[in-house]
């Protein structure tokens, strides 16, 4: 999403010295930043990074120095970015970037790229005038963290129930290793977490709303802390509040304010409200993409609305787009996504195409790529992403690709078709592969939907087939295989592992029991649907 632009200097201050360090800024720190893109080695090598030329800042992920130098030279001839973010930039890269007019920002080597990308997008989305009344300061966890830090003279971090850092205040050189690694998106040092757990601090935080004191441990380099649990009211007046996270305050050399515990309890109440609002309300960019997908009110956006959304997102209305729908392949049973799946897919999609748009709905995640000349690189990227998430996160995914989509106006209809494929894949995981297109899955999807509709209406299932199945399941199975073999006795016998004469005998018996000829095409169609519907019935 392209915002009105936050100054480069403001962005760096918001990211904190724990994550980034400014190396050089040849054009100063007032350059506006409204968009970010991720570039990896394959983008540079295959020339896919051209689609990202409109971004203001770039993250260079695993790009070798020689590739980075070539990329900087190419960007200098097209559109000079405000800044490039890179881990351990070489002197040659800094020199070339500065000569081209780009600032160079060094990223802490231990930082996670997805963490940095999330934080940058957060800063961009919460900057500027908020004309939408839902985008007020009451949804800014970073603002709350900084306000609390200023008030009680400590360094604040806010975590969710899984101990993932959601927001934090500015750090100084008194931040200990646990705080630094937490902000970087890495797990805290095992010896620290083990010590905190052994002393029952995690248990105490989950037991109630009281402030917990964590003593200093000089041997571990652990500074004193205060912590309080964040609790949200569960649905239903009689249900107990649900633990939603923790606010940690690390003390520096300056003592905390005398009323720090009272302020911390108040902050936990505000954090719970903000987290509830954030959970219920997607970001402005996500809402616009959801509108394009027809997810907001179930109706496709009007032509005027599509044009307005495209202008806001910096996209072209015309051209052949690609829509990919993703769903878990049996890893969750509650209709929810695995933790961070949307963020991880957004990171991968943005590395593949800087103009990729991502939105989610329930267990589904949708990636829109506008416009795309050919689908071959897209299919390769989708397969690679599925393999990477299986290896790195243990998540099994399936994907359905709709391409080409005739402009943004056709995205909502394409999303409906993608959902049909994914719905069918849930019922028929063997028939539909992990990666498929609408064209490839059309026959399977249509047949599945027809059979599902027949199975749902008892009156539509031929009672003769139901009786045959109840009387002699072996005959019913023979009929199914015979019909699927298009009446080829030899093929049916081979599938059933019986003699062809046995199949002929069974077919004659079936015709007698059903009082129908299997030479009748309408009878074959009716019986085939009924047999499939019976397999779906509980």
pLDDT single digits (tens) 156-178: 999 888 787 888 888 888 888 88
Segment among 117-131, 433-447, 500-514 with least mean pLDDT: 117-131
Percent pLDDT > 90 in the chain is 18
pLDDT tier for residue 236 given thresholds of 50, 70 and 90: very low
Kindly give, in sequence order, each residue whose CB lies less than 8 Å from that of residue 246, ignoring residues fewer than 6 positions away. 158, 159, 163, 205, 227, 228, 229, 230
Higher pLDDT, 189 or 238: 189
Q: Give residue 330's pLDDT.
A: 56
C-beta separation of 158 from 245 below 8 A = yes
Q: Where in the chain is the domain with CATH 3.40.1390.20?
A: 6-126
Average pLDDT, the chain: 82
Helices (H) and strands (E) in the chain, counts: 21, 17
- Residue 6: its H or E element: strand 6-7
Q: Give residue 59's pLDDT.
A: 92
338, with CB counted inside 10 A (0-12, 13-18, 19+), is: middle
Q: Where in the chain is the domain with CATH 3.30.70.270?
A: 286-452
| Reported CATH class of domain 286-452 | alpha beta
Q: Give residue 105's pLDDT.
A: 96
Q: pLDDT tens, 391-423?
A: 877 888 889 998 888 888 889 988 988 888 888
Q: What six digits make up the tokens of 43?
A: 């983008």
Q: What six digits make up the tokens of 527?
A: 């019986």
CATH architecture of the domain with range 457-535: Orthogonal Bundle (1.10)
**Does domain 141-280 match CATH 3.30.450.40?**
yes
User: How does 274-291 read in b/e, with b if 16+ C-beta sit within 10 Å?
Assistant: bbeeeeeebbbbbbbbbb
Q: Which of 21-30, 227-236, 448-457 has the highest mean pLDDT?
A: 21-30
Residue 99 has pLDDT above 90, yes or no: yes
CATH architecture of the domain with range 6-126: 3-Layer(aba) Sandwich (3.40)
Single out the residue of 271, 224, 266, 225 nearest to residue 244, CA to CA.
Answer: 271
Percent pLDDT > 70 in the chain is 87
What φ, ψ does residue 405 adopt, rounded to 5°? -100, 125
Alpha carbon distance 201, 213 (integer Å): 8
Residue 189 has pLDDT above 70, yes or no: no
Residue 333 has pLDDT above 70, yes or no: no
Higher pLDDT, 46 or 321: 321
CA dihedral defined by 312, 315, 317, 318, rounded to 10 degrees? 170
Alpha carbon distance 246, 162 (integer Å): 10
Largest Cα span, the chain: 94
Token pair 């964590």 in the structure block, residue: 214
Strand-pairing partners, residue 400, are 325, 436
Q: What is the mean pLDDT of residues 507-535?
A: 86
User: How does 502-536 read in b/e, with b if 16+ C-beta sit within 10 Å?
Assistant: ebeebbeebbeebebebeeeebbebbbbbbbbbee
Alpha carbon distance 237, 484 (integer Å): 56
Handedness of CA 371, 377, 380, 384 (dihedral sign): negative
Q: Where in the chain is the domain with CATH 3.30.450.40?
A: 141-280
Strands 212-214 and 165-168: unpaired
Q: What is the mean pLDDT of residues 333-361?
A: 73
Q: Give residue 95's pLDDT.
A: 95
Q: What is the mean pLDDT of residues 464-487?
A: 87
Q: Where in the chain is the domain with CATH 1.10.10.2840?
A: 457-535
Q: Give residue 344's pLDDT.
A: 79
Alpha carbon distance 358, 374 (integer Å): 20
Q: Give residue 54's pLDDT.
A: 67
Q: What six digits make up the tokens of 13?
A: 């201050």
Q: What is the mean pLDDT of residues 240-257?
A: 90
Single out the residue of 188, 149, 189, 151 nearest to residue 167, CA to CA.
Answer: 149
DSSP assignment of 221-281, as one string? Answer: TBPPEEEEEEEEPPSSTTSPPEEEEEEEEE--SSPPPTTHHHHHHHHHHHHHHHHHHHHHS
325: helix, strand or coil? strand
Higher pLDDT, 462 or 131: 462
Alpha carbon distance 366, 33 (integer Å): 26
pTM above 0.75, yes or no: no
């Amino acid at each position: 999403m392209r915002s009105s632009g936050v100054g480069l200097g403001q962005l760096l201050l918001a990211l904190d010295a724990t994550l980034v360090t400014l190396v050089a800024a040849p054009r100063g720190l007032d350059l506006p930043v409204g968009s970010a893109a991720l570039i990896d080695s394959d983008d540079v090598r295959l020339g896919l990074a051209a689609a990202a030329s409109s971004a203001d800042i770039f993250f260079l992920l695993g790009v070798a120095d020689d590739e980075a130098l070539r990329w900087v030279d190419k960007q200098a001839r097209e559109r000079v970015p405000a800044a490039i973010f890179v881990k351990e930039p070489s002197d040659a890269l800094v020199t070339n970037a500065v000569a081209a007019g780009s600032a160079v920002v060094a990223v802490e080597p231990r930082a996670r790229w997805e963490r940095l990308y999330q934080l940058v997008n957060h800063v961009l989305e919460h900057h500027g005038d908020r004309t939408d009344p839902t985008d007020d300061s009451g949804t800014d966890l970073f603002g709350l963290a900084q306000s609390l830090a200023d008030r009680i003279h400590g360094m604040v971090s806010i975590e969710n129930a899984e101990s993932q850092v959601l927001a934090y205040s500015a750090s100084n050189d008194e931040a200990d290793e646990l705080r630094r690694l937490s902000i970087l998106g890495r797990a805290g040092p095992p010896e620290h977490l083990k010590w905190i757990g052994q002393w029952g601090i995690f248990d105490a935080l989950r037991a109630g709303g009281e402030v917990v004191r964590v003593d200093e441990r000089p041997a571990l380099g652990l500074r004193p802390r205060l912590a309080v649990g964040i609790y949200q009211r569960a649905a239903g007046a009689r249900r107990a509040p649900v633990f939603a996270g923790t606010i940690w305050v690390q003390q520096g050399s300056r003592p905390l304010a005398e009323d720090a515990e009272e302020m911390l309890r108040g902050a936990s109440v505000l954090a719970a409200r903000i987290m509830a609002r954030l959970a219920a309300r997607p970001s402005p960019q996500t809402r616009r993409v959801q509108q394009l997908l027809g997810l907001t009110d179930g109706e496709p956006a009007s032509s005027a609305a599509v044009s307005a959304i495209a202008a806001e997102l910096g996209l072209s209305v015309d051209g052949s787009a690609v829509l990919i729908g993703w769903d878990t392949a049996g890893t969750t049973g509650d209709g929810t996504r695995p933790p961070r799946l949307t963020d991880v897919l957004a990171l991968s999609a943005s590395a593949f195409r800087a103009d990729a748009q991502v939105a989610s709905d329930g267990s589904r995640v949708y990636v829109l790529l506008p416009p795309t000349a050919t689908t071959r690189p897209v299919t390769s990227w989708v397969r690679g992403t599925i393999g990477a998430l299986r290896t790195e996160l243990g998540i099994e995914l399936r994907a359905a690709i709709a391409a080409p989509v005739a402009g943004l106006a056709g995205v909502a209809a394409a999303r409906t078709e993608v959902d049909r494929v994914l719905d069918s894949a849930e019922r028929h995981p063997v028939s539909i592969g992990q990666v498929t297109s609408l064209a490839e899955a059309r026959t399977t999807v249509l047949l599945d939907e027809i059979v599902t509709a027949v199975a749902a209406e008892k009156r539509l299932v031929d009672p003769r087939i139901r009786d045959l199945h109840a009387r002699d399941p072996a005959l019913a199975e023979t009929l199914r295989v015979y019909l699927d073999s298009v009446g080829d006795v030899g093929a049916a016998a081979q599938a059933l592992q019986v003699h062809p004469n046995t199949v002929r005998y069974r077919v004659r018996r079936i015709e007698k029991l059903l009082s129908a000829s299997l030479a009748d095409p309408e009878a074959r169609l009716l019986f085939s649907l009924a047999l499939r519907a019976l397999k779906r019935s509980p």
